[in-house]
Chains A and B, each alone.
Chain A
Amino acid sequence: MIARAVRYLDERVGTSPAIKKALRYVFPDHWSFLLGEIALYAFVVLVGTGVFLTFWYEPSTAHVTYHGQYEPLQGLSMSKAYESVVDISFAVPAGLLIRQTHHWAADVFVVAIVLHLVRVFFTGAFRKPRDVNYYVGVTMLALAVLEGYLGYSMVDDLLSGMGLAIGYSVAMSLPVVGGPLAFLLWGGEYPGASSFLTRLLVVHVLIIPVALGLLIAVHLATIVRQHHSQFPGPGRTERNTVGTPLWPGYALRSIGLLLAVASVLVLLGGLIQINPIWEWGPYATFQSTNGAQPDWYLGWLIGALRLMPPWELHFGDVTLIPATFWGGALFPLAVFAFLYSWPALERRLTGDRRRHDLLERPRDNPVRTAVGAAFATWVFVAFVAGSTDRVFVQLGIAYTGQVWFWRVFGWIAPFAIFWLVKRVCEELKRTEAHPLRGWSGAIAELGRGGDSAGYTAVEQSRESPGSRVGRRGDPPPPPGA
Chain B
Amino acid sequence: MRRLARLWLRRVPWLPRPVRIALALACAAGSLAVVALDASRAPAQAPRPGPAPAAGTRIDPGLVPEGRALFVDGCSSCHGFDARGIPGVGPSLFDVPPGNADFYLRTGRMPLDYQRDEPERGRPAYGAREISALVSYVASLGPPGARIPRADPARGELGEGFDLFTEHCAGCHQVVGQGGLTIGARVPDLQSSEPTDIAEAVRMGPYLMPAFPESQISQSQLDSIARYVLYTRDPQDAGGWGLGHIGPIPEGMVAWLLAGSALLLVARLIGERTTS
Identify the A interface with B (CB < 8 A).
29-35, 38, 70-76, 89-90, 96, 100, 104, 107-108, 111-112, 115, 158-159, 244, 253, 256-257, 260-261, 264-265, 268, 270-276, 278-281, 287-296, 299, 387, 389-390, 392-396, 399-400, 420, 423-424, 427-428, 431, 433, 435, 438-439, 451-452, 458, 461-462, 472, 476-477
Contacts and interface: CB of A to CB of B under 8 A. Distances in A.
Contacts of B239: 89, 96, 100, 272-274, 276
B176 A394 contact: no
Contacts of A34: 267, 270-271
B259 A111 contact: yes
A380 to B, nearest CB: 12
Given A31-B268, A438-B14, A287 B260 contact: no
A289 B170 contact: yes
B40 interface: yes
Given A271-B240, A395-B36, A387 B249 contact: yes
Nearest to B271: A31
15 contacts: A89-B238, A96-B239, A112-B260, A264-B263, A274-B243, A274-B254, A280-B247, A290-B173, A296-B255, A396-B186, A399-B183, A427-B15, A439-B12, A452-B274, A461-B276
Dominant secondary structure at the B interface: helix
A270 B236 contact: no
A281 B166 contact: yes
Contacts of A280: 175-176, 247
Contacts of A451: 274
Given A33-B271, A420-B19, A268 B247 contact: no
Given A273-B237, A273-B239, A290-B182, 7 more contacts: A31-B264, A38-B267, A75-B159, A271-B241, A280-B175, A288-B170, A451-B274
Contact of B258 (A74, A253, A268): A268
Dominant secondary structure at the A interface: helix
B114 to A, nearest CB: 14
A480 B168 CA distance: 62
B246 interface: yes
B230 to A, nearest CB: 12
Contacts of A253: 270
Interface in B199-223: none
B126 interface: no
Nearest to B272: A31
Contacts of A104: 254-255, 259
Chain A to chain B: the 3 pairs with minimum beta-carbon distance, closest first: A31-B271, A296-B252, A290-B180
Contact of A289 (B158, B171, B186): B171
Contacts of B160: 75
A107 B162 CA distance: 29
B234 to A, nearest CB: 12
A417 to B, nearest CB: 11
Given A111-B256, A289-B171, A74 B158 contact: yes
Interface core residue of B161, B172, B247 (most chain A CB under 10 Å):
B247
B56 to A, nearest CB: 29
Contacts of B2: none
A389 B271 contact: no
B172 A290 contact: yes
Nearest to B18: A423
A29 B273 contact: yes
Given A393-B181, A433-B14, A292 B247 contact: yes
B65 interface: no
Nearest to A257: B270
A275 B176 CA distance: 13
Contacts of A395: 36-37, 40
B22 interface: yes
A218 to B, nearest CB: 24
Nearest to A243: B273
Interface core residue of A261, A268, A399, A424 (most chain B CB under 10 Å):
A268
Contacts of A244: 273
B171 A290 contact: yes
Nearest to A97: B239
Interface string B86-124: 000000000000000000000000000000000000000
A265 B259 contact: yes
A394 B260 contact: no
B37 A291 contact: no
Interface core residue of A256, A272, A287 (most chain B CB under 10 Å):
A272
B163 A295 contact: no
A384 to B, nearest CB: 11
A295 B252 contact: yes
Interface core residue of A31, A34, A72 (most chain B CB under 10 Å):
A72
B266 interface: yes
Contacts of B175: 158, 279-281, 289-290
B171 A107 contact: no
Interface in B1-56: 11-16, 19, 22, 36-37, 40-41
B251 interface: yes
A400 B231 CA distance: 32
Given A273-B243, A276-B242, A451-B274, A73 B159 contact: yes
